[in-house]
Amino acid sequence: MYFIIQTVLLGTTSILCQFLFPWWIVAPCAFIVSFFVPVKGVKSFLGGFSSISFIWMLYAAMIDSRCKSIISMKIAPIFGLNSSITLIVLTGFIGGIVAGCAAYTGSVFRMYLDSYKKSSSEFGYLSNN
């Protein structure tokens, strides 16, 4: 359940933030969403990867269809690719890796803080007394 919440929330926040900020805003969005939504480990990476890669591939396909593949057919050979579809998939993969790594980092940071709070409270550092 939290995986779906993380994926939808990350997709929504990244779409809204990308209107105002550069492409790398997906990393802080993925970190923050994964920090507050308790999804752990590989599921956190997969949530970040799947949501951003889907959004970026969809957006790249929309731009490609609007331009009738003129731009992507000129850019694809620069990267050694044969078609514009491969360029679209590569775009989604790169965005997914960035967001997945950031989401995993947010999840690990949350687990670290939880373990720190637990170990600190055992020694009385965070007691309410």
Report pLDDT digits (tens) over 43-77. 999 999 999 999 999 999 999 999 888 888 889 89
- Hey, where are the domains in the chain? 2-109
Q: Residues 1, 72: contact at Cβ < 8 Å?
A: no
Global pTM value: 0.84
The dihedral built from the CA positions of residue 13, 17, 23 and 29, taken in this order, carries a sign that is: negative
Report pLDDT digits (tens) over 78-91. 999 888 999 999 99
